[in-house]
Amino acid sequence: MKQPAVRRAFGAVGLAVLTIGAIWAVASLDLTWSSLSPVHLAVNFLVLTPALLIVAALTFRITISAVGRRISNARALQTVATANVAELLPIPGGALVRGAALIESGAGVGEATRLVLLTAVLTLSLTVTISAAALWVLDGAIWLWIAGGGFVAICGVLWLLSRSAAPRYLMAMVAVRLLSLIVTMLRLSMAFGALGAKIGWVEAALYAVAPTLGAAVGIVPAGLGVNEAIAAGLATLIQASPGTVFLAVAINRALDLAVGAGLVLLTTYWQRRR
């Protein structure tokens, strides 16, 4: 079976999981429109979600600069926004968009593929390490071993990247990903606030792993339903409300897509007018 057909099928399953899960979460929490906080939603939508895209664009710029290439701020922002939306396609659209931008900047096909893969593993390893450390604080010692394994993976990826990137770029790659995690944690706090709930920094660090793990499940477009299910599963490990966590992650997904799609439309329109 061809991959697009497989991704379409799993995408339909993921959408069903997301829809059913959202209905279940709303019903279990007995939410009403009056329960929602428009201020938290507005801050998330107008400030934090665009900020996360800007950090993602900076991350992409650093990746390209690490191998001696250049890309404008506008082009980097358009690339990451398009990549986010392209994840909904029945192909691994995000990776293809980033790879195409790398090739456009002058990188070879092999170099672009290697960079996309290694930086994705770096993001996953760093996020898993921090999330596992948070779960260790909240739950128990076994998760410290997972955090340790993630740290070893980070060191391995940085060593591989060091063959073509200077140390200052490696430090920048880690620093900008930590900044992205902080913004993600702030967005989770706002999403919880929108639902009339509160969340601490350690819990936010725990749930921040969900979008990254969901993206790693490449067979499901954009991790539909997977992100939310992972976050809800983590909530059960610390006796938190899985319904609230499910909805908070779903809210952030919706805002991601709305801001990303809006930016893609605006940049496309602007380019056509030039």
Q: Is the pLDDT of residue 189 over 70?
A: yes
Q: Hey, is 213 helix, strand or coil?
A: helix
Contacts of 179 (CB under 8 A, 6+ apart): 55
Higher pLDDT pick, 216 / 100:
100
Band (pLDDT 50/70/90 cuts) for residue 204 is very high
Who's near 26: CB < 8 A, 6+ residues apart? 243, 247
Question: pLDDT value at position 73?
Answer: 87
Confidence grade of residue 137 (pLDDT, cut at 50, 70, 90): confident
CA angle 208, 209, 211 (to 5 degrees): 85
Local confidence band at 1 (pLDDT 50, 70, 90 cut-offs): very low
Mean pLDDT (the chain, rounded)? 84
Cα angle, residue 49 at apex, residues 59 and 177 outer, rounded to 5°: 25
Which pLDDT does position 108 carry in this prediction? 81
For residue 9, give both structure tokens. 């099928």
* Ranges 185-194, 204-213, 236-245, most confident: 185-194
* pLDDT of 52 strictly over 70: yes
pLDDT at 3 over 60: no
Instruction: Give residue 274's pLDDT.
Output: 65
- pLDDT category of residue 31 using cuts at 50, 70 and 90: confident
Question: By mean pLDDT, which of 3-17, 41-55, 210-224, 247-261 is the weakest?
Answer: 3-17
Which of 138-147, 179-188, 192-201, 235-244 shows the lowest per-residue confidence on average (mean pLDDT)?
138-147
**Which of the 8 DSSP states describes residue 47?**
I
Q: What's the rounded mean pLDDT across residues 162-169?
A: 89
Angle between helices 167-194 and 109-138 in degrees, nearest 10 = 50
Mean pLDDT: which of 79-93, 168-182, 224-238, 249-263 is highest?
168-182
pLDDT at 220 over 60: no
